[in-house]
Amino acid sequence: MSSRSLGPTLIAIGVGIIVVPFLVMFFLAIGPLGWVLLGGAVIILGIVVSLRESPGYDDVDRSNRINCDDCGARIDADADTCEYCGTAR
C-alpha cells in the first residue's frame, strides 16, 4: 500500500465533479457576445499587467527632482542636502 493518503485526491475529484458542470453551463450560457467580452477583458488586463511590469514603467512623479551639484545624483528639488553624498545645497 502507498504511504500517500488518498483523502486529498478524493476531495479534489469531488470538488471537480461539483464545480466543472457549473463552469461548463456558465460558459455555454454566455453566448458569443459573452465570449468576445470575456476575451477582450482578459486581453486588456494582460496589456495593463504587461505595461506595469515593464522596466520602463515608474509610477513615481520625478518632475520635481534635480541633479546634485557635487555628485550628480537625482534628488528632490526642495531637499536641503543630497541624500547620497550629504552635500548641503
Q: Where are the domains of the chain?
A: 7-57, 60-89
Could you read off the pLDDT of 31-84 as tens digits, one per residue?
A: 888 889 989 999 999 998 888 877 776 666 656 888 888 888 888 888 888 888
Tell me, what's the pLDDT at 76? Answer: 85
User: 76 pairs with which residues across the strands?
Assistant: 65
Q: Is the pTM of this model over 0.95?
A: no
Higher pLDDT among residues 60 and 12, named by residue: 12
Residues near 70 by beta carbon (within 8 Å), at least 6 away in sequence: 82, 85, 87
Name residue 65's beta-bridge partners: 76
Whether the per-residue pLDDT at 14 is higher than 80: the answer is yes
Residue 82 in contact with residue 75, Cβ under 8 Å? yes
Using an 8 Å Cβ cutoff, are 47 and 41 in contact? no
Question: DSSP secondary-structure letter at 60?
Answer: S
